Structure 1
Amino acid sequence: MTPRTVPQQESTRKPAKRLAAGIAAAACMVGLAVGPASASTSSTAGAQATGTFHYVGIGTPLQITNPSNGTCYQIPLSSSPVNLTNARAVVYTLPSCTGFGAPVEPGDTGDQLLFNSVRFEAVP
């Protein structure tokens, strides 16, 4: 018995349009998903840091401006943190500021870090 070949059917949609639509939808979700997850019981909780924390989420540059110290910010898987605030940013591998936490000091970057949440701490 010889194997039978099944003819391939062409999609009625163009792959580039589907990809562009998917990327646009993901970018919108990333923009909406960033926000405080939970408050900390730290004595600096609620104090406002000044400056901007930059990062890249799904290929899109994003930022958090003047974050609250002690608040956990949920972020979809992101990379390349740049901390231009006056607070220490601790980026976490898991959501809800759990998992491995790596500090990114004011003015520093974390080029090789992948993270899902971030919390800011006042620098003494």
Structure 2
Amino acid sequence: MADVLFIVTAGSGDAQQLDRLAEDLADELREISGLTVGAVTTTGSPGTKSGTAVEIGQLLVSGGALSTTAWAIRDIVLRLLARGRAESVTVRNGDRDVTIVGPTDGQVDGVVDQLRSLFADD
């Protein structure tokens, strides 16, 4: 399975806050057996020392069992949102994505179905 992109957004847009939120999410996702979590890097601005830059608030997640871990991923994202520091988390696979914004209890099961569909190989 290709990498899936997780994008955290926060109201303030503060780079340090987004970095902390992404790291909190990464730490929890790493607890799921079989998943690999890493920072998203891009070509840095001209004149930077390393030539690469880390995309703040973004994570690459991969693992062969993403669709079977949809419940755990949903719970981790909901906990992050419940702490009130993140506004939303978007999970993107290619040109398809799911944005989770503190769903109500009635919408929680639908989030799992959306994630499973997103993680399914075409």
- Give the TM-score normalised by structure 2: 0.34
Higher helix share: 2
Higher strand share: 1
Relative contact order (C-alpha < 8 Å, sep 6+): which is higher? 2
Larger Rg: 1
